[in-house]
C-alpha cells in the first residue's frame, strides 16, 4: 500500500493487487489536479464528438499532396488514445489511435497557448479529442494541425513499450484490453473472427436456414460425449447442466418441421485446457432435412473455400508456416484408410478385430477399457496415429457405429455410420452425419450409453426419453453438422492457440 489516490470512489488500484507504483502515482496526481481545475464536464467530460476517423482520413486524403490539402482546407474533429508523443520545444507531434487506425496531430504553442502547456503533461494512453486542418508534414505524413485539443480521459496506467508491445502471453490473455490497445494483429484476429461468423450466417441464410436458440441450461446434457458442468436452479430445486451440445434440441426442431435450422453459440465441456480446448467454445450446429452426410460434406467444402475467398480474396493461405491450397479438391478417406496410411505394416483386414486392435493399442500406449469394442479401439488408434497427419483439408468418413450413437448406420456396412469428421492442419474442425431417425434404434443406443455410464464412463450419454419420444413422432431423413468455430478461426488467422482467438480465455485466477 502506498500513499496517494484515496478518492472515495477510487478502488485505489492497489487494494488487492498492490500494483501501484511511481508511474501510477504520478498520473493520479495529474488526475487530482485535473479534478481541481475541471469545469462543468468534470475530469471525465463527454461532450466532444468526432466527425472523422483516422483510417478513413488516411484512405481519403493519404494520397493528396500538401498543395492540394492547402488549396482545399479540410477541417476534421478526431479523437482517440494518445499512442505517441514527441515534444520539441514550442511544437510537438502526437499520434492518436481510434478503431480504424492512427492519425498524427501537429501541435504548436503559438496556436494552442495554455493547452499546449497542458499537453506537455499528458501521457501516452490518455484519450484526446482535437480538431484542425489537414496538412502534410515535411516528411510527408498526413497530419492534423490542431487548433483545439482536449484531454477527455486520463489514463492512470502506463502502456507497454511502444516498440515491443505486450509480449507476455499471460498478460495478453488476462488484460486483453491492453493487448487490443497495443496489437494491430490481435485486433485483426477478432475482426476476422466476426467476419467468419457473419459469412457462415450469410451462407446459411441464403439457403433458407432458420437461426434458432436452444437451451444452454439443460436437465439432461446430450448430443456429445463429454463431461458437463453442473449448476443448480434454486426455484425449481433442480440440478441442471450447461450444455455440451445443442444437437438433441435442434433435431427436435426438425421433428417440428422447421427443416433447416442452425445455431451458433457456446458449448461447455468440463475438460482440460490446451491450445485446442477452452472449457467454453463456440459451435455452429446445423440440421438439414432431406439430405445426407455427403450433401453436408459438399457444403463444408464450399463454405471453407468461400471463407478463404471472402477473407483474403484467394484460396491459398499459410498456417503455422505451411502452405494450404483450398482450390484443390478436399480429400475424402475412410477412417480405416487413414489408419493404414499412418501405420506402415498394419494389417488392413484386421481393423475390426478387437484382439488385434487391443494388441496395436498396447504397443502404442493407447488406453482403453475392457468394454471397448472394435469401433472404440479403432478410433483410439485413429486419434493417436492418424489425426495429426491430416494437414490438407480432409474428410474422414465411415466412423464406427459404436462411437456414433446419434448417427444413422450405413446401409451396406452395419459396422460403420454415415458419419464424417473434417480435418485441417491436423485438427478436427467439424463433425457431421446422417441423423439416426429410427426411434427404436436410438432408444437401444441410449440404453447402451446409459449402461456404459453406469460402469463409470463419465463421457457416456444419458438416456433422453423426451428425445426418443420426439423421434417417435417421426423425424424426416436428415443430415447434421457441427463446426468448431474457434478452431476454424485459428486456421484462418494463423493462430497457434485457441486462446489467441477467444477474447477472454479461461485462466486460473491471478495469485
Partner RNA sequence: GGGGCGUUAGCUCAGUCGGUAGAGCAUCGGACUUUUAAUCCGCUGGUCGACGGUUCGAUUCCGUCACGCCCCA
| Binding interface with RNA (CB under 7 A) | 19, 21-23, 26, 84-91, 93, 104, 106, 108-110, 121, 123-124, 135, 137-141, 143, 145, 158-171, 173, 272-275, 365-367, 384, 496-497, 499, 507-511
Return the residue matching grid coordinates 482535437: 130
CB-nearer residue toward RNA: 132 or 480: 132
Minimum distance from residue 325 beta carbon to RNA (Å): 24
Q: How far apart are CA 129 and CA 115, in angstroms?
A: 12
Q: How far apart are CA 116 and CA 118, in angstroms?
A: 5
Grid cell of 24 as nine digits: 501510477
CB-nearer residue toward RNA: 315 or 503: 503
Minimum distance from residue 20 beta carbon to RNA (Å): 9
Q: How far apart are CA 421 and CA 318, in angstroms?
A: 22
Q: How far apart are CA 212 and CA 205, in angstroms?
A: 12
Return the residue matching grid coordinates 471463407: 307
CB-nearer residue toward RNA: 106 or 356: 106
Q: 125 - beta bridge partners?
A: none
Please provide the DSSP assignment of 443-458 as one string. Answer: HHHHHHHHHHHHTT-T
Sheet of 427-434: strand order equals 210-211, 260-268, 280-289, 478-484, 427-434, 419-424, 394-397, 331-334
Q: How far apart are CA 166 and CA 171, in angstroms?
A: 8
- Phi, psi torsion values for 341, nearest 5 degrees: -60, -35
Minimum distance from residue 115 beta carbon to RNA (Å): 14
Minimum distance from residue 412 beta carbon to RNA (Å): 34
Q: Are 245 and 285 contacting, i.e. CB atoms less than 8 angstroms apart?
A: yes
CB-nearer residue toward RNA: 165 or 373: 165
Half-sphere exposure of 67 (CA within 13 A, CB side): 0
CB-nearer residue toward RNA: 109 or 270: 109
CB-nearer residue toward RNA: 19 or 63: 19
Among the listed residues 132, 459, 482, 14, the one whose alpha carbon sits nearest the alpha carbon of residue 270? 459
CB-nearer residue toward RNA: 265 or 342: 342
Those residues whose C-beta lies under 8 Å from the C-beta of residue 56, and which sit 6 or more positions away, are 100
Strand extents, DSSP E, 72-175: 75-88, 91-98, 101-108, 127-136, 142-153
Minimum distance from residue 315 beta carbon to RNA (Å): 27
Grid cell of 420 as nine digits: 464424417
CB-nearer residue toward RNA: 158 or 219: 158
Minimum distance from residue 386 beta carbon to RNA (Å): 13
User: Per this entry, what is the length of the chain?
Assistant: 511
Minimum distance from residue 167 beta carbon to RNA (Å): 4
CB-nearer residue toward RNA: 26 or 441: 26
- Phi, psi torsion values for 449, nearest 5 degrees: -65, -45
Strand extents, DSSP E, 157-258: 210-211, 217-218, 230-233, 238-242
Minimum distance from residue 103 beta carbon to RNA (Å): 11
- What is the Cα gyration radius of the chain? 29
Exposed / middle / buried, residue 310 (Cβ in 10 Å: 0-12, 13-18, 19+): middle
Q: How far apart are CA 281 and CA 501, in angstroms?
A: 10
Torsion, Cα of 296, 262, 244, 496 (10° steps): 70
Minimum distance from residue 229 beta carbon to RNA (Å): 17
Minimum distance from residue 165 beta carbon to RNA (Å): 6
Minimum distance from residue 66 beta carbon to RNA (Å): 9
Q: How far apart are CA 505 and CA 277, in angstroms?
A: 10
CB-nearer residue toward RNA: 27 or 419: 27
Q: How far apart are CA 482 and CA 283, in angstroms?
A: 6
Minimum distance from residue 504 beta carbon to RNA (Å): 12
CB-nearer residue toward RNA: 316 or 388: 388
CB-nearer residue toward RNA: 10 or 17: 17
Other Cβ atoms closer than 10 A to 118: 17
CB-nearer residue toward RNA: 76 or 286: 76
Minimum distance from residue 275 beta carbon to RNA (Å): 4
Amino acid at each position: 500500500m502506498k500513499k496517494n489516490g484515496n478518492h472515495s470512489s477510487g478502488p485505489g488500484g492497489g487494494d488487492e493487487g498492490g500494483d501501484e507504483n511511481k508511474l501510477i502515482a504520478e498520473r493520479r496526481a495529474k488526475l487530482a489536479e485535473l479534478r481541481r481545475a475541471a469545469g462543468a464536464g468534470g475530469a471525465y467530460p463527454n461532450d466532444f464528438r468526432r466527425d472523422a476517423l483516422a483510417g478513413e482520413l488516411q484512405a481519403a486524403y493519404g494520397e493528396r499532396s500538401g498543395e492540394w490539402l492547402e488549396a482545399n482546407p479540410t477541417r476534421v474533429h478526431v479523437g482517440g488514445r494518445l499512442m505517441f508523443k514527441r515534444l520539441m520545444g514550442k511544437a510537438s507531434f502526437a499520434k492518436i489511435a481510434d478503431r480504424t487506425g492512427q492519425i498524427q496531430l501537429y501541435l504548436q504553442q503559438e496556436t494552442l497557448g495554455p493547452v499546449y502547456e497542458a499537453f506537455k503533461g499528458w501521457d501516452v494512453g490518455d484519450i484526446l479529442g482535437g480538431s484542425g486542418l489537414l496538412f502534410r508534414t515535411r516528411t510527408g505524413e498526413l497530419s492534423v494541425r490542431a487548433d483545439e485539443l482536449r484531454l477527455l480521459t486520463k489514463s492512470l496506467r502506463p502502456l507497454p513499450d511502444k516498440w515491443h508491445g505486450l509480449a507476455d502471453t499471460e498478460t495478453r490473455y488476462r488484460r486483453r484490453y491492453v493487448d487490443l490497445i497495443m496489437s494491430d494483429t490481435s485486433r485483426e484476429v477478432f475482426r476476422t473472427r466476426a467476419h467468419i461468423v457473419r459469412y457462415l450466417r450469410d451462407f446459411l441464410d441464403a439457403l433458407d436456414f432458420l437461426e434458432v436458440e436452444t437451451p444452454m441450461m439443460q436437465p439432461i446434457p446430450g448430443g456429445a460425449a463429454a463431461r458437463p458442468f453442473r449448476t443448480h436452479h434454486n426455484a425449481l430445486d433442480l440440478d441442471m447442466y450447461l450444455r455440451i451440445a445443442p444437437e438433441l434440441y435442434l433435431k427436435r426442431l426438425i421433428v417440428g418441421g422447421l427443416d433447416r435450422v442452425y445455431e451458433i453459440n457456446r458449448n461447455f465441456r468440463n475438460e482440460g485446457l490446451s491450445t485446442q480446448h477452452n472449457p467454453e467454445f463456440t459451435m455452429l450446429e446445423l440440421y438439414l432435412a432431406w439430405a445426407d452426410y455427403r450433401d453436408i460434406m459438399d457444403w463444408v467444402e464450399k463454405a471453407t473455400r468461400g471463407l478463404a475467398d471472402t477473407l483474403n480474396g484467394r484460396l491459398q493461405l499459410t498456417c503455422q508456416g505451411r502452405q494450404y491450397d483450398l482450390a484443390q479438391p478436399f480429400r475424402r478417406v475412410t477412417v480405416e484408410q487413414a489408419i493404414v496410411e499412418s501405420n506402415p505394416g498394419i494389417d488392413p483386414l484386421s481393423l475390426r478385430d478387437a484382439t488385434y486392435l487391443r494388441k496395436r493399442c498396447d504397443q502404442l500406449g493407447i488406453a482403453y477399457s475392457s468394454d471397448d469394442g472394435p469401433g472404440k479401439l479403432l478410433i483410439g488408434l485413429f486419434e493417436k496415429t492418424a489425426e495429426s497427419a491430416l494437414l490438407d483439408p480432409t474428410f474422414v468418413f465411415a466412423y464406427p457405429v459404436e462411437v456414433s450413437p446419434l448417427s444413422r448406420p450405413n446401409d451396406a456396412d452395419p459396422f460403420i455410420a454415415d458419419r464424417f469428421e473434417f480435418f485441417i492442419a491436423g485438427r478436427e474442425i467439424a463433425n457431421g452425419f446422417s441423423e439416426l431417425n429410427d426411434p427404436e434404434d436410438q432408444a437401444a443406443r441410449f440404453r447402451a450409453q446409459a449402461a456404459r455410464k453406469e460402469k463409470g464412463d463419465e463421457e457416456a450419454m444419458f438416456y433422453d426419453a423426451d428425445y426418443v419420444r420426439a423421434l417417435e413422432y417421426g423425424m424426416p431423413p436428415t443430415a447434421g453438422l457441427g463446426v468448431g468455430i474457434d478452431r476454424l478461426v485459428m486456421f484462418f488467422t494463423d493462430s497457434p492457440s485457441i486462446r489467441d482467438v477467444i477474447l477472454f480465455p479461461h485462466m486460473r485466477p491471478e495469485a
